[in-house]
């Protein structure tokens, strides 16, 4: 669906995307995971064929965005980072206006709006204005609107940023449905749980480069251990990483806690206690993509 080779985007002197190679296959959910400023949105905008590449090769749906932008855009759905719904119109009107924009007849537009309201679980809000809707409802409406032209490929830029956990789950559920219907999804996110939940494959981006690529499970097994023990010590009682070197494969000190990477966190915790150490808190958890990112970049995803 998307093939990029040495894809580059420069803004003046500044290189936001530094020669990345990406291939997105039909039917998969593909993710760009990285912190703010990693170059995810710039990449998405090139794929969406609204921002020309500076260098490299790019094919979207087999076409070149430089010469076939309108044909590509007609077959894409785009959910931008900021909702750009028309606040003066009702929920239904927002969908219908978009349908007309894509050249559907009035009858088709009406039928499509009914279907999409159902999909977005907004049927009972159809005649409501957009402004007072919750953030989650607005996002679902934006996604519904992006589906007006039955896109084969849906691009979602940070789809759940700013939503509460329940709203995020509801939204993920809608995206799973689309995937089950065969829509290819490309998602940018700086939430590791979103990438883990949604993506079959992903690339980790940092500073305009791809630093790792694979399925969430592959990345975790390649770059982390099965479990992590998180320890917090009272002020004045912090310990240097070397203190735990024999208890874990890797020890990562963060400003507010220390992470011990190990196959069995409980065993490591017992050892900590056996040494007479009394952390303020301890947590054994499985490794996540956050740990992968920390390992690859030395930084956390969300500061
Ligand atoms: N139009 C522009 N002109 C100049 N610099 C830009 C422009 N758009 C983006 N940048 C810069 O390019 C870098 C990458 O931005 P981009 O939006 O692609 O990152 P991102 O990973 O999507 O992060 P975010 O989550 O903040 O959108 C940033 O340093 C940003 O300031």
Give tens-digit pLDDT for 12-46: 999 999 999 999 999 999 999 988 889 999 999 99
Domain identity same for 62 and 161 = yes
Domain identity same for 46 and 163 = yes
**pLDDT value, residue 171:** 87
Q: Is 189 in the pocket of ligand 1 (CB under 6 A)?
A: no
Domain identity same for 44 and 165 = yes
Domain identity same for 20 and 76 = yes
Compute, in angstroms, the gap from residue 206 CA to the centroid of ligand 1: 12
Q: Are 107 and 40 in contact (CB under 8 A)?
A: no
Nearest CA to ligand 1 atom 24: 36
Q: Is 101 in the pocket of ligand 1 (CB under 6 A)?
A: no
Q: Tell me if 13 is assigned to some domain.
A: yes
Domain end among 215, 248, 278:
215
Q: Tell me if 268 is assigned to some domain.
A: yes
Q: Tell me if 302 is assigned to some domain.
A: no
Rg (CA), the chain: 22
Q: Is 22 in the pocket of ligand 1 (CB under 6 A)?
A: no
Residue 303 has pLDDT above 70, yes or no: no
Domain identity same for 261 and 142 = no
Q: Which of 85, 153, 144, 155 is nearest to 119 (CA)?
A: 144
Q: Tell me if 292 is assigned to some domain.
A: no
Looking at ligand 1, which atom is closest to the CA of residue 43?
A: 18
Q: Is 52 in the pocket of ligand 1 (CB under 6 A)?
A: no
Q: Tell me if 262 is assigned to some domain.
A: yes
Contacts of 263 (CB under 8 A, 6+ apart): 225, 226, 227, 249
Q: Is 34 in the pocket of ligand 1 (CB under 6 A)?
A: yes
Domain identity same for 118 and 238 = no
Give whole-number Cα distances, 211 to 38, 59, 69, 161, in Å. Answer: 11, 22, 29, 23
- Could you tell me the residue range of the domain that residue 246 belongs to? 225-286
CATH number for the domain that contains residue 150:
3.40.50.300
- Number of structural domains (the chain) is 2
255: exposed, middle or buried (Cβ count in 10 Å: 0-12, 13-18, 19+): exposed
**pLDDT value, residue 300:** 79
Give tens-digit pLDDT for 37-78: 899 999 999 999 999 999 999 999 999 999 999 999 999 999
Domain identity same for 149 and 278 = no
Q: Which of 146, 139, 141, 192 is nearest to 168 (CA)?
A: 139
Domain end among 215, 233, 253:
215
Domain identity same for 18 and 130 = yes
Compute, in angstroms, the gap from residue 40 CA to the centroid of ligand 1: 8
Domain identity same for 172 and 45 = yes
Q: Tell me if 297 is assigned to some domain.
A: no
Domain identity same for 41 and 176 = yes
Compute, in angstroms, the gap from residue 143 CA to the centroid of ligand 1: 23
Residue 79 has pLDDT above 90, yes or no: yes
Q: Calculate mean pLDDT across residues 160-180.
A: 89
CATH number for the domain that contains residue 261:
3.30.70.980
Mutate to test the pocket of ligand 1, among 18, 41, 48 (most ligand atoms within 8 A of CB): 41
Compute, in angstroms, the gap from residue 189 CA to the centroid of ligand 1: 14
Nearest CA to ligand 1 atom 30: 37
Q: Tell me if 70 is assigned to some domain.
A: yes
Domain identity same for 111 and 244 = no
Domain end among 215, 237, 260:
215
Compute, in angstroms, the gap from residue 261 CA to the centroid of ligand 1: 33
Q: Tell me if 296 is assigned to some domain.
A: no
ipTM, 2 decimals?
0.93
Give tens-digit pLDDT for 178-212: 999 999 999 998 888 899 989 999 999 999 999 99
Counting residues of the chain whose pLDDT is more than 90, the rounded percentage is 80
Compute, in angstroms, the gap from residue 54 CA to the centroid of ligand 1: 15
Nearest CA to ligand 1 atom 16: 39
pTM across the whole model: 0.90
Distance between CA atoms of residues 229 and 231, nearest Å: 6
Domain identity same for 146 and 248 = no
């Amino acid at each position: 669906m998307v093939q990029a080779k040495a894809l580059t985007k420069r803004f003046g002197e500044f290189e936001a995307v530094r020669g990345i190679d990406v291939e997105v296959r039909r039917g998969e959910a593909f993710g760009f995971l990285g912190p703010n400023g990693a170059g995810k949105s710039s990449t998405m905008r090139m794929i969406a064929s609204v921002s020309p590449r500076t260098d490299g090769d790019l094919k979207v749906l087999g076409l070149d965005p430089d010469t076939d932008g309108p044909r590509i855009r007609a077959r894409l759905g785009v959910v931008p980072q900021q909702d750009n719904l028309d606040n003066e119109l009702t929920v239904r009107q927002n969908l219908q206006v978009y349908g007309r924009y894509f050249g559907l007849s009035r009858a088709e537009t009406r039928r499509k709006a009914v279907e999409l309201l159902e999909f977005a679980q907004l049927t009972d809000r159809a005649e409501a204005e957009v402004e007072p809707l919750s953030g989650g409802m607005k996002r679902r409406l934006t996604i519904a609107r992006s589906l007006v032209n039955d896109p084969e490929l849906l691009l979602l830029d940070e789809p759940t940023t700013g939503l509460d956990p329940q709203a995020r789950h509801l939204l993920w559920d809608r995206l799973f449905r689309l995937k089950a219907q065969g829509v290819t999804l490309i998602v940018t996110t700086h939430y590791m749980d979103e990438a883990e939940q949604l993506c079959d494959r992903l690339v980790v981006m940092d500073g305009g480069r791809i630093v790792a690529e694979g399925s969430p499970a592959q990345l975790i097994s390649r770059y982390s251990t099965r479990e992590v023990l998180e320890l917090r010590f009272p002020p004045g009682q912090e310990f240097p990483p070397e203190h735990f070197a024999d208890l874990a494969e890797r020890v990562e000190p963060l400003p507010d806690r220390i992470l011990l990477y190990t196959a069995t966190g409980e065993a490591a915790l017992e050892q900590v206690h056996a040494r007479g150490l009394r952390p303020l808190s301890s947590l054994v958890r499985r490794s996540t993509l956050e740990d992968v990112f920390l390992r690859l970049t030395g930084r956390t995803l969300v500061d």
